[in-house]
């Protein structure tokens, strides 16, 4: 592979951007600051505003209100071709009548670069995606993964200041998506570019991003690093959207006593119980934080359950269990010779540490800080 020493990452800022279509608000006072070279993912369901934000930045959609800046310079008055932004689409968007080399060379020919420079840049870009020996192939002679890599090479060949990726792995099968995730991380590290990635796939977001912005109703609900988004969701919406979780309702009985309604258990919080104010009405508890009762301390909550169903997930078994109140919960554990697989109808005691229960308020959406 040809090594490239490219430092073209730059900052991106959305400042109070709104976009309306009649009475529909696709974006509402959207604010986001992306640092040079950062990989930020907009994650959310259909209609959350993530693709609209991407299209406003790319210049495909005009903002109704607000400003967008690259390297502190407003770009709203510039047509898409003058914004120096690369774009990778879900459906590749390769020209079927051009071979691989000409597809990658296309943006350079639009910029009227010299033939020698085109040859050099296309060669480097194809080498980066490990397709330098397939320059004469036509798109219909390539696999899905190869076509996506050609699309990536074309997007970065002119050294854009920002690279946008709109559901780029959505058309690939699972194993190929996982392989391409590793390649995208490698490309990002090698290029040092600023990437704004759009997806509804939480696994992709967690695997690839420096920061994740969870979208809802045209705004950022929460933005943080993948581990903090997963471990410290700020609302039921984020907790339920990122990964798999159990939501348990709680009641405040006294200054430091709470009642888990779904478990019919009262618990005295430890002295340092910050974050458990009376506005907290539920907790998020990840399935892997539940475990069979082993030892207890004053931080542990134990309850009775019965196995309803289980899923074999390779190195993990995921159980669906029912509590005595009828609440269904999920818990996961790794397989092992000393960990027998439980059967439907088996009774067991489950436990979790209060430290692993994330208290949430009653709002559907939290307030993200971008």
Q: Does residue 181 sit within a domain? A: yes
pLDDT at 362: 65
- Residues 222, 248 within the same domain: no
Q: For position 289, what pLDDT does the model report?
A: 95
Short-list 96, 95, 124, 123, CA closest to 110: 95
**DSSP classification of residue 354:** G
Higher pLDDT, 251 or 270: 251
> Tell me: the pLDDT tens digits for 163-219?
999 988 776 777 777 888 888 888 888 888 899 999 988 989 999 999 999 999 999
- On whether residue 332 sits in a domain, the answer given is yes
324: containing domain: 244-361
Regarding whether 158 and 40 lie in a shared domain, the answer is yes
108: phi then psi, degrees, rounded to nearest 5: -75, -40
Tell me whether residue 2 is in a domain: no
Q: Same domain, yes or no, for 332 and 227?
A: no
Q: Are 219 and 145 in the same domain?
A: yes
The SS3 assignment for 146 reads helix
Do residue 92 and residue 154 come from a single domain? yes
Residues in the chain: 370
Same domain, 31 and 59: yes
Cβ–Cβ under 8 Å, residues 108 and 122: yes
Indicate the residue among 231, 252, 272 that finishes a domain: 231
Pair 103, 31 in one domain: yes
Asked if residue 368 has pLDDT above 80, the reply is: no
Average pLDDT for the chain: 89
Closest C-alpha among 72, 84, 77, 45 to residue 164: 84
Q: Sort residue 92 into left (φ over 0), alpha (ψ -120 to 50) or beta.
A: left
pTM exceeds cut of 0.75: yes
- On whether residue 4 sits in a domain, the answer given is no
pLDDT exceeds cutoff 60 at 358: yes
- Considering the domain architecture, whether residues 217 and 276 belong to the same structural domain is answered as no
Task: Report which DSSP code applies to 257.
Answer: E
366 pLDDT exceeds 70?
no
User: Could you tell me if 212 and 264 lie in one domain?
Assistant: no
* Domain end among 231, 252, 281: 231
Predicted pLDDT at 8: 52
64-116 confidence digits (pLDDT tens): 999 999 999 999 989 998 898 988 887 778 899 999 999 999 999 989 999 99
Total domains in the fold of the chain: 2
User: The CATH number of the domain where 308 resides is what?
Assistant: 2.40.50.140
- For 158, other C-beta atoms within 10 Å of its C-beta total 17
- Does 1 fall in a domain? no
* Residue range 2-58, pLDDT digits in tens: 344 444 579 999 999 999 999 899 999 999 999 999 999 999 998 999 999 999 999
Check whether residue 251 and residue 220 sit in a common domain.
no
Residue 243: per-residue pLDDT: 86
Please check whether residues 186 and 271 belong to one and the same domain.
no
More confident site: 92 or 129: 129
């Amino acid at each position: 592979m040809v090594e490239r020493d490219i430092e073209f990452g730059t900052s991106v800022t959305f400042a109070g951007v709104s976009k309306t279509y009649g009475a529909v608000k696709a974006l509402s006072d959207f604010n986001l600051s992306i640092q040079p070279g950062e990989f930020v993912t907009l994650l959310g369901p259909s209609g959350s505003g993530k693709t609209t934000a991407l299209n406003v930045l790319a210049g495909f959609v005009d903002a109704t209100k607000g400003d967008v800046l690259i390297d502190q310079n407003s770009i709203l008055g510039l047509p898409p071709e003058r914004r120096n932004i690369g774009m990778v689409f879900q459906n590749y968007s390769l020209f079927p009548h051009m071979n691989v080399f000409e597809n990658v060379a296309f943006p350079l020919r639009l910029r009227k670069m010299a033939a020698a420079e085109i040859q050099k840049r296309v060669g480097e870009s194809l080498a980066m995606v490990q397709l330098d020996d397939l320059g004469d192939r036509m798109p219909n002679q390539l696999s899905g993964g190869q076509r996506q890599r050609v699309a990536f090479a074309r997007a970065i060949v002119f050294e854009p200041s920002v690279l946008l990726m709109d559901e780029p792995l959505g058309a690939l099968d699972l194993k190929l998506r996982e392989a391409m995730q590793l390649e995208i991380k490698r490309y990002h590290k090698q290029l040092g570019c600023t990437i704004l990635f759009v997806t509804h796939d939480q696994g992709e977001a967690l695997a690839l991003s420096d920061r994740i912005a969870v979208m809802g109703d045209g705004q950022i609900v929460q933005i943080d690093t993948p581990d903090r988004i997963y471990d410290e969701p700020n609302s039921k919406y984020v907790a339920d959207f990122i990964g798999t979780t159990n939501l348990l309702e709680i009641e405040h009985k006294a200054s430091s006593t709470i009642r888990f309604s779904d478990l019919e258990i009262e618990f005295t919080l430890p002295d340092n119980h910050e974050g458990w104010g009376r506005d907290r009405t539920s907790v998020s508890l990840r399935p892997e934080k539940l475990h069979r009762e082993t030892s207890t301390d004053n931080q542990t909550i134990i309850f009775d359950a019965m196995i309803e169903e289980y899923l074999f997930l390779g190195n993990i078994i995921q159980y669906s269990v029912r509590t005595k109140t009828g609440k269904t919960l999920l818990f996961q554990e790794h397989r092992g010779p000393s960990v027998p697989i439980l059967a439907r109808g088996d009774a067991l005691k489950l436990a979790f540490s209060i430290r692993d229960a994330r208290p949430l308020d009653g709002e559907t959406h939290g307030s993200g800080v971008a």
